[in-house]
């Protein structure tokens, strides 16, 4: 059975030295023993070992756009909404084979940075003219295959997308590949469930795209299904204004008043909330899915982190459009956005936890595990054996230990500090590189050259 020995490791009870970690053949941790001698044949993890970090939100195909939609538009008034039109044009180019190659490259990059699972919020369902593939779940299943090829854990989130605005406005031509009715959506979900059945590295949830894309009746129908539920809400001020005009309520307010929002739910972005929404979302037990690099890239705004944490709110991190692919980048951007907004330092801290790196990491581990519906986020029996070995001799980390090392990793110049990554007890990254990177990168490069020709 797989066995690992960590020089130091972050356990639920805190940092410990000489930690023996045993797993079964299916990749579940069976025993964790601090202050243990290395067993013969155990794989040595010589740095500071933390749990693998869940990525709770991403659209893999957008990895192929990252950095390529930055040029000023003709009108000189660029925004999320102009970026979205660029994204719609790009989606018309992608075949299932392209989508799989792009997803595999992304998942390699996520693993190399310390993410060991991803929630794939998938809405690119059909052929460019909107006609379903022979298997309507073809595109979703390509992401499952990419996850299996790279070894990353995945929660597939097929997205229900029917309309182009709140509530029930016609969809735009660029959205035709996304569109399903409830029956078509249910068929995709069921196909994904069959494909993931018995796979300890995979789960399936549900993603009503947003209040712009589904009706109230559709939202309640999805809520009656099994699995974690993810939805975009309140990402942009214009979205809030449109919701107020349509139903005289703000998006998060409307969700909380009209849908059974609880710990199964992950509300993506939730950027523009008022004080009542912040308090009520925190009280619901739902997770706020924060994607700071993308939210900065798209000019979304700044999440009200201190107020949300003050009410006991749960959150996790995602990479969304994948302009960033590293957990340290997302955690750093989250804290730095608060510092810029509030003109203060060490915002994500408490008297009991003065290190922002530790508080942010703990929240991302717990919130990401909850949102993904998988047993992740801790080095403990019954959890997935997902381990990230940080190089304690890296110039940014050398001489530091414990929570101070986490601060240095997140806030210092610590690129490349992830030395090895284990996912489901399988070693996937060694010396900072995924074992399948050359093959997957070559295929990705071929796709990109054709798409950009």
pLDDT per residue as tens digits for the range 170-228: 888 889 999 999 999 999 999 999 999 999 999 999 999 999 999 999 999 999 999 99
Structure confidence at residue 382 as a pLDDT band (50, 70, 90): very high
8 Å CB contact between 391 and 73 = no
**1 vs 118, more confident:** 118
pLDDT digits (tens, 9 = 90+) for 169-183: 888 888 999 999 999
Structure confidence at residue 167 as a pLDDT band (50, 70, 90): confident
pLDDT digits (tens, 9 = 90+) for 396-441: 999 999 999 999 999 999 999 999 999 999 999 999 999 999 999 9
Full set of structural domains in the chain with CATH: 3-50+380-440 (2.30.40.10), 51-372 (3.20.20.140)
pLDDT digits (tens, 9 = 90+) for 286-310: 999 999 999 999 999 999 999 999 9
Task: Tell me which residues are annotated as active site.
Answer: 269, 320
pLDDT the model gives residue 164:
86
pLDDT the model gives residue 150:
98
Identify any residues that bridge with 230 across adjacent strands, giving them in sequence order: 266
Write the CA distances from 129 to 125, 179, 452, integer angstroms: 11, 11, 21
Between CA 347 and CA 450 the distance in angstroms is: 45
pLDDT the model gives residue 117:
98
> Across all residues in the chain, what is the average pLDDT?
96
8 Å CB contact between 30 and 41 = no
Residue with tokens 């997770």: 287
pLDDT the model gives residue 165:
85
pLDDT the model gives residue 73:
86
Mean pLDDT (whole number) for 126-135: 96
């Amino acid at each position: 059975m797989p066995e690992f020995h960590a020089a130091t490791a972050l356990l639920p009870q805190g940092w410990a030295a000489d930690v023996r970690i045993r797993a079964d053949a299916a990749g579940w941790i069976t025993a964790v023993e601090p202050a243990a001698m290395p067993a013969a044949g155990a794989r040595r993890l010589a740095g500071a070992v933390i749990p693998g970090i869940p990525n709770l939100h991403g659209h893999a195909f957008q990895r192929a756009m990252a950095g390529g939609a930055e040029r000023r538009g003709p009108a000189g008034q660029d925004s999320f909404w102009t970026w979205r039109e660029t994204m719609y044009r790009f989606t018309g180019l992608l075949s299932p084979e392209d989508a799989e190659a792009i997803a595999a490259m992304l998942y390699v990059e996520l693993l190399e940075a310390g993410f060991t699972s991803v929630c794939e919020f998938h809405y690119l369902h059909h052929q460019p003219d909107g006609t379903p593939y022979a298997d309507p779940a073809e595109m979703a299943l390509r992401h499952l295959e990419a996850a299996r090829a790279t070894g990353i854990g995945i929660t597939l989130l097929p997205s229900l997308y029917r309309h182009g605005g709140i509530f029930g406005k016609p969809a735009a031509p660029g959205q035709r590949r996304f569109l399903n009715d409830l029956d078509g959506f249910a068929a995709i979900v069921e196909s994904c469930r069959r494909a993931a059945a018995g796979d300890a590295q995979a789960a399936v949830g549900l993603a009503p795209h947003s209040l712009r894309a589904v009706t109230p009746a559709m939202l309640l129908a999805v809520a009656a299904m099994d699995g974690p539920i993810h939805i975009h809400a309140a990402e942009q001020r214009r979205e809030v204004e449109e919701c107020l005009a349509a139903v005289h309520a703000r998006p998060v307010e409307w969700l909380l008043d009209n849908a059974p929002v609880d710990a199964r739910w992950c509300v993506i972005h939730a950027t523009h909330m008022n004080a009542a929404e912040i308090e009520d979302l925190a009280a619901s037990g739902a997770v706020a899915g924060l994607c700071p690099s993308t939210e900065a890239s798209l000019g979304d705004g700044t999440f009200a982190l201190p107020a949300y944490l003050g009410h006991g709110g749960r959150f996790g991190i995602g990479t969304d459009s994948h302009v960033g692919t590293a957990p340290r980048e997302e955690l750093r951007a989250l804290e730095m956005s608060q510092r810029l907004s509030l003109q203060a330092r060490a915002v994500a801290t408490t008297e009991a936890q003065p290190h922002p790196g530790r508080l942010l990491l703990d929240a991302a581990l717990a919130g990401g595990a909850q949102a993904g519906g998988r047993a992740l986020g801790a080095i403990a029996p019954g959890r997935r054996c997902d381990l990230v070995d940080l190089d304690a001799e890296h110039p940014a980390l050398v001489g530091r230990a414990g929570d101070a090392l986490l601060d240095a990793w997140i806030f210092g110049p610590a690129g490349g500090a992830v030395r090895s990554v284990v996912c489901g007890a399988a070693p996937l990254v060694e010396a900072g590189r995924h074992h399948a990177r050359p093959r997957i990168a070559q295929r990705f490069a071929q796709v990109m050259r054709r798409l950009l020709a």
